[in-house]
Amino acid sequence: MAKNRINDTKETNRDTMHRKYIITINEPFEKGYTHEVIKELLENKFKSILYYCFSEEKRYKTSCSYICSIQNTGSLFSSQESL
């Protein structure tokens, strides 16, 4: 059976560079990600950041934080993962 070329390309190009990201953190407070920690990480780790915002969703037993960032220059996907 022939491999799917689209899937092969996506796998090899996973670490692409972009200026805009939306990051989701499940259970941020359990992992030590308070609003202050998130703000400090964004401002110190990404020097080319132009704008960021984050919001929090609280559910019955869980919570989730969403972070949106726009940067002046592109950054690799792998650098966002290490946030």
- Over its C-alpha atoms, the chain yields an Rg (Å, rounded) of 16
Residue 39: CATH number of its domain: 3.30.1070
Summarize pLDDT for 35-45 with one digit per residue, the tens.
899 899 888 88
Does residue 58 sit within a domain? yes
The four Cα atoms 22, 26, 32, 33 give a dihedral, to 10 degrees, of 20
* Long-range Cβ contacts of 5-14 (<8 Å, 24+ apart): 14/77
Q: Total structural domains in the chain?
A: 1
What whole-number distance in Å separates Cα of residue 41 and Cα of residue 35?
A: 10
**For residue 55, what are the contacts with CB-CB under 8 A and spacing of at least 6?**
65, 66
pTM above 0.75, yes or no: no
Summarize pLDDT for 5-50 with one digit per residue, the tens.
555 555 556 678 788 888 899 999 899 999 899 899 888 888 888 9
